[in-house]
Structure 1
Amino acid sequence: MEVFPVVDMEKLNGEERGATMEMIKDACENWGFFELVNHGIAIELMDTVEKMTKEHYKKCMEQRFKEMVASKGLEAVQSEIDDLDWESTFYLRHLPVSNISEVPDLDEDYRKEMREFALRLEKLAEQLLDLLCENLGLEKGYLKNAFYGSNGPNFGTKVSNYPPCPKPELIQGLRAHTDAGGVILLFQDDKVSGLQLLKDGEWIDVPPMRHSIVINLGDQLEVITNGKYKSVLHRVIAQSDGTRMSIASFYNPGNDAVIYPALALVKADETSQVYPKFVFDDYMKLYAGLKFQAKEPRFEIMKEMESNVTLDPTATV
């Protein structure tokens, strides 16, 4: 059994940098996931965000979730449910414009801590994109520029809680899917597990680790790397004990960013470019209805639309 990749970012600053970069490269090419430790985000901030997220769920969301479960009769289901997720969520937008002050029911202290946490994650995402550029042989800043569009990247957070489920064998916490966007940074519960990824035909647990940030790659990075890196199917298994916290932040291209394989990664022979060119917002509109289906047909549909896409002449090549 292969060991899930855990990357110690402190080692990027010393003589183990080469081996650490190789570990990131292998994780991107063969897993689509890896876990970061010593990533530079203060432990105290993470502890505060976790505490406040769990308090907010108890105070504002737990009862609503119980009422939803009761209204749909989910506690007594006898057969598998394949069109519903056993999760309680809310969303925060950070870039290009924050909506944190408008999201209802959040205490002011919680808003403040989430703003700070998002700033730290944004910096970490951009640092990671440059590490990927280095491994791919792309110039520094290429991926950030590719995501930029006219107003900068989209960056937002999905805050989820997965309460105990009476029939975990019949309902998924979150159904299997690949993520549509760029790079995803997840702060997950270190006591209640449930996140799994599909590797070589087997579902593998993403280990809960205290104060780690789990990274996974979205569909856009698969396209830009021309398939060298791939987005990977993952899911959340419902559990009968404990409520699992998940804070997933998505660093995605801007709505009007034109996404296409980096020319440096496409061989001279044009047939080696297997991915389409498209506007990110068009992909997201398509993804909204096909999230829980295979990604390959999404790419095919975008390929059929690509004759309508024109490249910005100032785009990075």
Structure 2
Amino acid sequence: MASTFSSTIPIVDLSKPDAKTLIVNACEEFGFFKVINHGVPMEAISQLETEALKFFSLPLNEKEKAGPPNPFGYGSKRIGPNGDVGWVEYLLLNNNQEHDFSLYGKNHEKFRCLLNSYMSSVKKMACDILELMAEGLKIQQKNVFSKLLRDKESDSVFRVNHYPTCPELAVNGQNMIGFGEHTDPQIISLLRSNNTSGLQIYLRDGSWISVPPDHNSFFINVGDSLQVMTNGRFGSVRHRVLANGLKSRLSMIYFGGPPLSEKITPLPSLMKGKESLYKEFTWFEYKNSTYGSRLADNRLGHFERIAAS
């Protein structure tokens, strides 16, 4: 099946004054947008990508020393504990860098330093975007979202996904799932990849569109927590990755999450007399609930208030 690349994906130039309006529009319509002029140095991006590829090119028995992901570390094929599999291997790391980096190959010290500087740049971008979002929503407290990522207890994670070339695809042209369809449970995700296609997003009209790869830019996903905080005004985007028959794909994703004890509930300033669509829950409760689900499940379903008929 040939996939059509979409030219409809919103592009936000973070250096322009209309960024906040475009961000709000994109979050309402797609739950997804691309950012340019993001301020993360290309050199930091390509150096970290090079080190990650060095790790993934190690023999399997070397990589497995950094696993299994429990929940952090190296994993292959299996995604989560509930039977989801994909044509992918990955590293899942937490924000606080409590890892034995000596398991990550010979250059582990360099990898750790590059990872730290990259994550601080990407976290800053995430906070800038969330502050523009608050301004675009006309919320007085500009840091209402960003303070959750800046909190020292912020439960943010960093994931590096490597999708090796899939030889069978090149032969029979079938689609093979690299990473199955899902929404991200956190507040916001910032993703970049090398110049290999594969990412697709699900539109409100029920169609999947392919996202043209662009290794200089970042793609931003609205997560489930942000959907709840905006009382459904922003929708978390359902997305997936298809494996590629000819080129391997490497993506790096920063998932900005709140502290575990944070109550996830619609912001009063966005309610103005409206009913909440969701029962109140903590990030800890929601995160635990998602661990018990399959990737494609509607994870927020358990937390929706069903209107009395």
TM-score bracket for the superposition, by shorter chain length: 0.7 to 0.9
In structure 1, what is the equivalent of residue 264 of structure 2?
Answer: 259
- 1:184 Cα deviation (Å)? 0.4
In structure 1, what is the equivalent of residue 201 of structure 2?
Answer: 197
Amino acid across the alignment from 2:112: R
Q: Distance in 2 between matches of 1:223 and 1:280?
A: 11
In structure 2, what is the equivalent of residue 114 of structure 1?
Answer: 115
Q: Distance in 2 between matches of 1:273 and 1:210?
A: 39
Q: Distance in 1 between matches of 2:148 and 2:52?
A: 33
- Indicate yes or no: 2:179 matched with 1:180: no
Contact 1:92 1:103 in 2 (8 A): no
Percent of paired sites with the same residue? 29
Q: Distance in 2 between matches of 1:217 and 1:62?
A: 36
Q: Distance in 2 between matches of 1:184 and 1:83?
A: 21
Q: Distance in 2 between matches of 1:258 and 1:127?
A: 22
- 1:280 Cα deviation (Å)? 0.6
Pairing partner for 1:292 from 265, 274, 295: 295
Alignment TM-score, normalising by the size of structure 1:
0.80
Q: Distance in 2 between matches of 1:103 and 1:231?
A: 36
With over 3 angstroms needed to count, the CA separation of the structure-2 counterparts of 1:275 and 1:32, relative to structure 1, is same
In structure 2, what is the equivalent of residue 124 of structure 1?
Answer: 125
In structure 1, what is the equivalent of residue 176 of structure 2?
Answer: 171
Amino acid across the alignment from 1:225: T
- 1:301 Cα deviation (Å)? 2.3
In structure 2, what is the equivalent of residue 24 of structure 1?
Answer: 23
Q: How does 1:4-23 map to 2 (within 5 A)?
A: 4-11=9-16, 17-18=17-18, 20-23=19-22
With over 3 angstroms needed to count, the CA separation of the structure-2 counterparts of 1:103 and 1:193, relative to structure 1, is farther
In structure 2, what is the equivalent of residue 227 of structure 1?
Answer: 232
Q: Distance in 1 between matches of 2:102 and 2:135?
A: 38
- Indicate yes or no: 2:86 matched with 1:85: yes
In structure 2, what is the equivalent of residue 155 of structure 1?
Answer: 156
- 1:163 Cα deviation (Å)? 0.7
With over 3 angstroms needed to count, the CA separation of the structure-2 counterparts of 1:2 and 1:109, relative to structure 1, is closer
Q: Distance in 2 between matches of 1:102 and 1:63?
A: 13
With over 3 angstroms needed to count, the CA separation of the structure-2 counterparts of 1:37 and 1:291, relative to structure 1, is farther
With over 3 angstroms needed to count, the CA separation of the structure-2 counterparts of 1:267 and 1:60, relative to structure 1, is farther
- 1:263 Cα deviation (Å)? 0.9
Deviations 1:197-231 (A, max 9, x none): 00121111122113211111100000000001010
- 1:100 Cα deviation (Å)? 4.4
Contact 2:155 2:256 in 1 (8 A): yes
Alignment TM-score, normalising by the size of structure 2:
0.82
Q: Distance in 2 between matches of 1:174 and 1:217?
A: 18
In structure 1, what is the equivalent of residue 285 of structure 2?
Answer: 282
Contact 2:175 2:242 in 1 (8 A): no
Query: Secondary structure in 2 aligned to 1:268?
Result: coil
In structure 2, what is the equivalent of residue 34 of structure 1?
Answer: 33
RMSD: 2.4
With over 3 angstroms needed to count, the CA separation of the structure-2 counterparts of 1:135 and 1:287, relative to structure 1, is same
Query: Secondary structure in 2 aligned to 1:52?
Result: helix
Amino acid across the alignment from 1:47: S
Q: Distance in 2 between matches of 1:42 and 1:101?
A: 27
- 1:2 Cα deviation (Å)? 5.3
Higher helix share: 1
With over 3 angstroms needed to count, the CA separation of the structure-2 counterparts of 1:276 and 1:103, relative to structure 1, is farther
Amino acid across the alignment from 1:113: L
Deviations 1:76-113 (A, max 9, x none): xxxxxx9411100011112xx32244462242111110
In structure 1, what is the equivalent of residue 212 of structure 2?
Answer: 207
Query: Secondary structure in 2 aligned to 1:26?
Result: helix
Q: Distance in 1 between matches of 2:295 and 2:167?
A: 23
Q: Which runs of no fewer than 5 residues in structure 2 stay unpaired?
A: 1-5, 65-76, 78-82
- 1:255 Cα deviation (Å)? 0.9
Amino acid across the alignment from 2:54: E
